[in-house]
Structure 1
Amino acid sequence: MPKIYIYLLSALFIISVYSAIAKADQTNLKITGLPKNLQTNVQAHLSALTNQEVFTDIRYRSHISAMVKEALKALGYYEPRITFYLIQPHRPNKNPLLIVQIIPGKPITISQAKVTLRGGACRDEDYLALVAKAKPLKGSILNHRQYENFKNSLDRIALHKGYFDATYLRSQLKVAVSHYIAFWDIDYDSGERYCFGAVNFIGSHIREAYLQNIVPFHTGDVYSANNIAELTRRLSETGWFNSVAVIPSFDKKNIDKKVQLKGIVTTRARNTIETGFGSSTDIGLHLKTKWKKSCVNNRGHSFHTIMKISAPEKNLEWTYKIPLLQNPLEQYYLLQGGLKRTHLNDTKSDASTLSVSQYWERSNSWKWAAHIHWILDHFTQGNNTNTTMLIYPGITLDRTRSHGSLMMPNWGNSQHYSIDISNSLWGSYIDFIVIQAKNVWVQTIQERSRFIERINLGWINTKNFSKIPPDLRFFAGGDQSVRGYKYKGLSPHDNEGKLTGASKLAIGSIEYQYHMTGKWWGAIFIDSGSTLQDLQKNLVNTGIGFGVRWESLLGPLKLDVARPIGNGHTHNIQLYIGLGPEL
């Protein structure tokens, strides 16, 4: 027989013998006799053992006993009784079963929990609340993890709030096993709380005064890690920097107890250009190009232009932002302009726009803005052709609040209100008042269930509606409006059946989302709305549909299918694809 066959047969024989031995050595393990909380902890300690590591001899039984005792000791049971039973299999190819029967015994209970706070901790609400909530009651069962967690919580508060001299004068957990009692004895001196010192910026080209006015605290304010995180966020939100790091430093030898901060930043590229192709149900294929100059000068001015090209709309916009020294992040001017050509449904428009706006944010998170707009629009809407020049001031009020993820929050609410006024006294061709209100609510009812409600109301008061440019008139239909109808396909019609736009708008929507798996959500929805000129001729359009959502870093990516119902409308089933935050 050739040697190669001899080697192969030998190898197969060795493998089969080894497998049989390994199989024979495998033993299953079962824990009995414990209540659920103790059982869970014991199994967690034994989880490192595989079946191959569980044997039936005394050496491994001693190892298992030690692990069980360690697990029970952590929960206050110091004297368990452990008995082993080995059950041999009745059928071949079955593993033996080693049963570990445990009687936990009498638990150790807390006789006294003494926690003494000294220094600033004895007056600090967070420390006092921790002691009131987490100190064990007399007679409760000893839990070593509870003791360690309590000390860790003391340390976390110290780091978070700036008690950097904190120390334990005494820290003892005493156990009298023979009497089944335990004692906490903690004497904790937090020292006094540190305060913020100066903030020094490194690597910035922006004037120091602008940066200092972004800092959300003052020298001498008490230290808080939340304020450092807020400063980091505010510096990032300016758009001036590519990276931001705020680093605290202090010297315990200094009697002034000041924490100095270094704001280390790297400047964002002065010019960035972004170009992308996309497709949406509303406007089809489109090209978008954005050029941004993040910092024009050392006062933080910025400039960007956006060009959007699609079959129904061509749009070129520019924006120049001027931060104000007293509060560069929340207070600023915007100078804006644009050119827009529209050929959509029954709308043809060539518009030029200019505007000046001032923005400021109140402490209650409401953002106010005052605007003055100029628009020159040559348009045809249905069979009506006009050229209109308007100058109209306005005020907007916005607020967005949310909990959880920024892009897909557990709870959230966004509100937008605006009023614009045009009058021939200052050169406008026509007089009007436009009022709008938009609200979105997000509510999580259960862990897997969310509701999203939307409402959009609008009113134009004018005696010259025919001269109102199409962009100021109300249309409905499409994503973020009434799904089931094409984009801006709903409005009153003229005598020839062409869309005219409306002076009044009311849209409501409710959507239910269910978490299916991973980042996937399912959705069903109903949208309903009306665009009208005369309240006596109210026609409500309703659409229903379903869709899916996928959580992305830019917000939910959504795909919806919807159809109109209720009024015999001729619109077909509509498909919607979208990406972006819900608020």
Structure 2
Amino acid sequence: MRYIQQWVIFLMMVIVVPAHAQTRWQTSEAILKVEITGIEDELLRNAQLFLSLKELENKQVPSLFRVRYLARQGEQEILSALEPFGFYNASVQHQINQTADVWLIQYQVELGNVTTYNQVTVDIRGAAEDDAAFKKLVTALKPQTGQVFEHQSYERLKTSLRSLAAERGYYDAELLKHEVHVETTTQTADATLLFDSGERYQFGPTSFCCSFLEDELLHRFVQYESGQPFTTRSLLELQIDLAGSGYFSSVEVSPQWQQADNQEVPIEVSLSPNNRNRYQLGVGYGTDTGARVTLGFDRRWVNSRGHRLSSVLRLSEVQNTGFVSYVIPGRNPARDSYSYTGEVTDRSFEQQQSTLYRTAFNDIRHYDKWHRTYQLSYQRENFAFGSEPTTSSNFLIPAIEWSLIDSATVQDNRNMIDDGYRLTLSLQGGHDSFLSDTNFISAKVGAKWIQRLNDDWRMLLRGEVGALTVDDFDLLGPTLRFFAGGDHSVRGYAYQQLGPKNAEGVVIGGRYLVATSVEFDYAFKPNWRLAVFSDFGNSMMDWDESLKQSVGVGVRWISPIGPIRLDLAAAIDEPGSPWRLHLTLGPDL
């Protein structure tokens, strides 16, 4: 009987033990959910990234054993996720709530006191010890006593030291010591960084490979000297300037660190030629010009000295122009140039007829945001207004123009100006003692300002004022007079149709010019804006003449090639306030 009882007990154990094991390892039909309370925002997002259980959320529950294991592991994962934000004294508890449909894993977080910096030591050794750039970096990024100990600020300082060393030529720099000691009893952290920069390298000789241009021209692109302290910024500027010259299809600028001698690193520039000839064909439409066709031909380099030839023919309903330019690189070829230009323009519009022949010499300089142009031109213009007889005039005109442009674009769209301004000043004149038919002096000032008011609204202000003094106004051709009206002047009025008129009612232009605009535009969806505006202006023979006004609305599309504007404007001072459509393409400034 005793043996029978033992066999019964054994059989019950065999049956019960597997049944018990199955409840721990079997899967459930329920869905797994995870909830974390006690933290929010960045802390919550980081905890969710660290938590392994999040990968199983909204899926069928695996075995109870695996859920319990991952739930316990999750407590430590959440604690690790909080440490980068300075919470080293947090506590986490969890519980598992099971129903037939949902298993909810709930974590309750108690943050405790945040850990702050106690002592922060940054020791710069080597040549960088006296480098002002490193001193500025340490002053800006070194954590201060009492500041929350966030790993991000500490890592940013380490990364910035390495990046600055690479940018300024400390090729042998290394971080000898970087450690943090966290004292949980006092909730403080001590950080120590020991950075040895070694010696700073200098620029060695620069060589160019595979170029069809003279070395003398190529070396004029180089704005550093051998023996000067190395900076990657100088190399980047060299690459940008060479690529922007149009001579090359690809440019690679490489410091040869392995060939450095006495801390001088040679620079090698590899160049691939661009297509020597470029042809252009374009068609378009503008409300000022009507339908137009553009044909162009460029010779990117005429000879080994980098001279360039550019020509263009523009045909439109209003004006036909043929233009040719011969460009000679200046001392700094990326920013300075000399050019000889020739132009023939025939214009016939609203009973204004003009044929212009002009040749000019230009000296152009770029100074960061500033641009300066000196010009000496000689022109002959045959012109007539209405049925008046044709007049011919000749002028030798020295001129100068300064412009200043500064702008900031929207982060994710370089075609959209966020804030910026443009200022221009131009002066020109002629004297009857030097190949000019009469004495005259002309000046014009222009400005445009764009200001972002908030994330959706911008304000755009524009103004232009011009004045000239002349002994015999009738000898000035239309190109030397002032006109107003059109897409870029006073919208709502036809192109150059604001100004004094002759007896036949033909606009003949004036001595003075005023054109202003106030505009607000609103982003109603990405890359699309609505605008309301009002323009004022006129060209006049005397300052006391009244200005014309228009009001209008428009829509802007920030296309990949630049803003396209469609405006509908009403000329308030015209009988019946007629509406006029204006279509323009181009940058805001």
Scaled by the length of structure 1, the TM-score of the pair is: 0.88
Question: Closer, same or farther in 2 for the Cα pair 1:130/1:397, shift >3 Å?
Answer: closer
Paired position in structure 2 for 1:206: 213
CA drift of 1:44 comes to 4.2
Indicate the residue corresponding to 1:399 in structure 2: 404
- 1:61 matches 2:71: yes
- Tell me, yes or no, if the aligned pair for 1:28 and 1:54 is still in contact at 8 Å: no
Report how many residues are paired: 555
2:476 — aligned with what?
468
Tell me which residue corresponds to 1:9. none
Describe the shift of the 1:366–1:520 C-alpha distance in structure 2 as closer, same or farther (beyond 3 A): same
> Which residue in the other structure is 2:298 paired with?
292
2:558 is matched with: 551
SS at structure 2 position matched to 1:52: coil
Partner of 2:435: 427
* Mapped contact 2:441–2:470 kept (Cα < 8 A): yes
For residues 138-170 of structure 1, the C-alpha deviation after alignment (integer angstroms, 9 at most, x for no partner) is 344432232222211111111111111111222
Q: 1:573 aligns with which of 579, 584, 589?
A: 579
Deviation per residue, 1:152-210 (Å, 9 max, x gap): 11111111111111112222122344554432122111122221112111222121111
Q: Tell me how far 1:555 sits from its aligned partner.
A: 2.5
**How far off its partner does 1:118 sit?**
0.7
Match of 2:313 in 1: 307
**Kindly tell me: are residues 419 and 23 of structure 1, through their superposed partners in 2, closer, same or farther at Cα, counting changes over 3 Å?**
farther
The aligned runs of 1:253-402 (5 Å cut-off) are 254=260, 256-324=262-330, 326-361=331-366, 363=367, 365-385=369-389, 386-402=391-407
Q: Which runs of 5+ in 2 are unaligned?
A: 1-25
Higher alpha-carbon deviation: 512-521 or 450-459: 512-521
- Equivalent residue letter for 1:187: L
Aligned partner of 2:223 in structure 1 is 216
Question: Which amino acid counterpart does residue 507 of structure 1 have in structure 2?
Answer: A
Letter in 2 for 1:172: E
**Aligned-residue offset at 1:267:** 1.6
Superposed displacement of residue 310, structure 1:
1.2
SS in 2 for 1:426: coil
**Separation in 2, partners of 1:339, 1:503:** 25
Match of 1:112 among 119, 125, 128: 119
Q: Deviations over 1:425-474 (max 9, x none)?
A: 12322222221222222233434333222211111211322221112221
Q: 1:50 to 1:374 in 2, by over 3 A?
A: farther
* 8 Å contact from structure 1 (residues 199, 261) kept in 2: yes
Residue 357 of structure 1 aligns to a residue whose secondary structure is: strand
CA contact (8 A) 1:383 1:498 kept: no
Equivalents in 2 of 1:81, 1:331: separation in Å?
Answer: 66
Partners of 1:204 and 1:39 in 2: how far apart?
57
1:447 and 1:162 map into 2 onto residues whose CA distance is: 40
> Superposition pairs for residues 429-508 of structure 1, below 5 Å?
429-508=437-516
Contact 1:115–1:185 under 8 Å retained in 2:
yes
Q: Is the 8 A contact 2:518 2:535 kept in 1?
A: yes
Residue in 1 that maps onto 2:519: 511
* Cα displacement (A) at 1:272: 1.0
Deviations 1:370-418 (A, max 9, x none): 2222222222123433122222222222232333466433332222222
Partner in structure 2 of residue 13 of structure 1:
none
Give the letter for the 1:317 counterpart. F
Letter paired with 1:318 = V
Deviates more, 1:110-119 or 1:37-46: 37-46
| Aligned match of 2:22 | none
Task: Describe how 1:6-155 pairs up with structure 2 within 5 A.
Answer: 24-34=29-39, 36-46=41-51, 49=55, 51-53=57-59, 55=61, 57-86=67-96, 95=102, 97-155=104-162
Q: In structure 2, what is the equivalent of residue 530 of structure 1? A: 538
Task: Give RMSD over aligned pairs.
Answer: 2.6
Contact map agreement 2:29 2:60 (CA 8 A) in 1: no
The answer as to whether partners of 2:122 and 2:194 remain within 8 angstroms in 1 is: yes
Query: CA contact under 8 A between 1:485 and 1:571: conserved in structure 2?
Result: no
Distance 1:178 1:227 in 2: 50
In the TM superposition, what is the alpha-carbon distance from 1:318 to its structure 2 partner? 0.8
State the distance in 1 between where 2:536 and 2:146 align.
Answer: 61
- Structure 1 Cα separation of the partners of residues 418 and 138 of structure 2: 31
Distance 2:465 2:87 in 1: 65
Aligned AA (2:220): N
User: Residue 377 and residue 286 in structure 1: after superposition, are their counterparts in 2 closer, same or farther (change >3 A)?
Assistant: same
Q: Which moved more, 1:513-522 or 1:216-225?
A: 513-522
- Structure 1 gaps of 5+ residues are 1-20
Indicate conservation of the 8 Å contact 2:79/2:91, yes or no. Answer: no
Q: In the aligned structure 1, how far is the partner of 2:232 from the partner of 2:559?
A: 29
Amino acid of the structure 2 residue aligned with 1:463: D
SS of 2:70's partner is helix
1:291, distance to aligned residue in structure 2 (A): 0.6
1:192 matched to 2:194:
no
- Residue identity matched to 1:371: Q
- Which amino acid in the other structure matches residue 76 of structure 1? G
User: 2:530 and 2:336 mapped to 1: Cα distance?
Assistant: 40
- Decide whether the 8 Å contact of 2:328 with 2:339 is kept in 1: yes
How far 1:97 sits from its partner (Å)? 4.1
More deviation in 512-521 or 224-233?
512-521
2:7 alignment partner in structure 1: none
How far is 1:32 from its partner?
A: 1.0
Q: Map Cα deviations across residues 101-143 of structure 1 (whole Å, 9 max, x no partner).
A: 1112344443322221111232223322332333333344432
CA distance in 2, matches of 1:437, 1:208: 41
Deviation at 1:53, TM superposition (A): 4.9
**1:578 & 1:377 partners in 2: Cα distance?**
28
1:75: Cα distance to partner?
2.2
* Aligned-partner residue type, residue 137 of structure 2: L
- Letter of the 1:455 counterpart: G
List per-residue Cα deviations over 1:280-317 (Å, max 9, x = no partner).
11111111111111100011111111111111111111
Report how far residue 550 of structure 1 moved: 2.7
State the distance in 2 between where 1:368 and 1:110 align.
53
**Secondary structure, counterpart of 1:27 in structure 2:** strand
CA distance in 2, matches of 1:76, 1:436: 61
CA distance in 1, matches of 2:551, 2:51: 54
- Contact between 1:83 and 1:102, CA under 8 Å: does it hold in 2? yes
Cα distance change of structure 1 residues 375 and 153 upon mapping to structure 2, 3 Å threshold:
same
Query: Residues of 2 paired with 1:370 and 1:127: CA distance?
Result: 42
* Cα separation, 2, equivalents of 1:364 and 1:67: 52
Instruction: Give per-residue Cα distances to partners, 1:462-512, cap 9 Å, x unaligned.
Output: 132222111222111111111111222211222232211112101111222
Q: 1:240 to 1:389 in 2, by over 3 A?
A: same
Q: Is the 8 A contact 1:176 1:182 kept in 2?
A: yes
CA distance in 1, matches of 2:253, 2:476: 51
Q: What letter matches 1:579 in structure 2?
A: L
User: C-alpha distance in 1, partners of 2:402/2:261?
Assistant: 47
Superposed displacement of residue 25, structure 1:
3.1
1:262 CA drift (Å): 1.6
Query: Counterpart in 1 of 2:8?
Result: none
Report the CA distance between 1:569 and its aligned residue. Answer: 4.1
SS of 2:239's partner is helix
Q: Relative to structure 2, which stretch is displaced further, 415-424 or 46-55?
A: 46-55
